[in-house]
Amino acid sequence: MRSASMLFLAWLVVLVGCAGTQSLVHSRFQALHGCAADAVYRTAGGFVAVGCGVRAHFVCFDTDDDDDDDDSLIAELLIEPMFERDNVCIQEQVERGREHVVPRDPTEVAKGKDGTVRLRASVPLMDAPRGQLSFVGAPTFADPAVAVRMSLELREPLAETCTGRVWVDGAASPIKYVKRENDATVLFAITSEQLAALARAHTAALEACGQVAKLDLGALPRIRLFAGRFAGARARLLPAASAARDR
């Protein structure tokens, strides 16, 4: 009896969390398109909202992470103070009538409670293995200044021993910081130069924990948009931050 009660409570928690996120997607859709969504439903890659002739794809982050590894650069980039709210939903794609899907700038800029500016974006992976990349860039940090969470749909778990590489047009460069989070998710940090190289690439992939995620034609345009925003913020903010640290 107790097991059934625990299962019911677990199901209820999941249901309430999903309903809260759907409400946030409704709000974001209304703010972006000036009309209410007729329906919001969950997909493998996030949420889809439909209304007033628009079909919009959203990805949502839970920024209220519990991670005790505060000394880790990856943890410092990926967890609070990233946003002062618990959940963030970003519109990734829009379809209007029979038009082609239009990639939108996936970048969201926020200032944490410590005053540090961070840029965040999510990029879907449509080729096998399918999944999601979450980029978080801290323009005023010394390199590596961009953290990446790679979540993949896998038949077998990620390797226990993890190393990583960035592949750009057939050439590889090592990823220094790699952390296996669970069987399907890995965190790592790349430099601003590696991010810029991905943005210039004709073909690219990210390799970590024995898995290679190809950056397909849907992912690369979004990475280019994020990289451009990050480079602009870094050029604008890093000199002043460096001067302040040197005082």
Classify residue 67 as exposed, middle or buried by CB count within 10 Å of its CB (0-12, 13-18, 19+): middle
Looking at the predicted structure, is the pLDDT value of residue 221 above 60? yes
Q: What is the pLDDT of residues 159-197, one digit of tens each?
A: 998 999 999 999 999 998 999 989 999 999 999 999 999
Confidence at 44, pLDDT banded by 50, 70, 90 = low
- Does residue 229 surpass a pLDDT of 50? yes
Token pair in block for residue 21:
């996120």
* pLDDT band, very low/low/confident/very high, at 231 (cuts 50, 70, 90): very high
Amino acid of residue 170 = G
Amino acid at 215: L
Q: What is the DSSP string of 115-154?
A: S-EEEEEEEEE-SSSPEEEEEEE-TTSPSS-EEEEEEE--
Q: How does the average pLDDT of the chain come out, rounded?
A: 78
CA distances to 177, 198, 203 from 173, rounded to whole Å, are 13, 11, 14
E strand or H helix that includes residue 91: strand 87-96
* CA dist 80 → 59, 85, 194, 234 (Å): 19, 9, 24, 20
Task: Phi first, then psi: give them for residue 127, nearest 5 degrees.
Answer: -80, 155
Work out the percent of the chain whose per-residue pLDDT is above 70.
75
**pLDDT of 147 higher than 50:** yes
State yes or no: cis peptide before 129, omega within 30 of 0: yes
Model pLDDT, residue 4: 46
Strand order in the sheet with 211-214: 171-175, 164-168, 204-208, 211-214
- Quote the CA–CA distance of 56 and 95 in Å, as a whole number: 6
DSSP reduced 3-state for 53: coil
Closest CA to 199 of 227, 175, 174: 227
- Average pLDDT (231-241) is 88
Mean pLDDT across the stretch 8-12? 33
* Predicted pLDDT of residue 72: 54
Comparing 102 with 198, which gets the higher pLDDT?
A: 198
Residue 65's pLDDT band (boundaries 50, 70, 90)?
very low
pLDDT tens across 153-169, in order?
888 899 998 999 999 99
H helical segments located in the chain: 2-33, 73-78, 192-200, 219-246
Q: At what angle do helices 219-246 and 192-200 cross, to 10 degrees?
A: 150
Q: What local confidence, expressed as pLDDT, does residue 28 receive?
A: 82
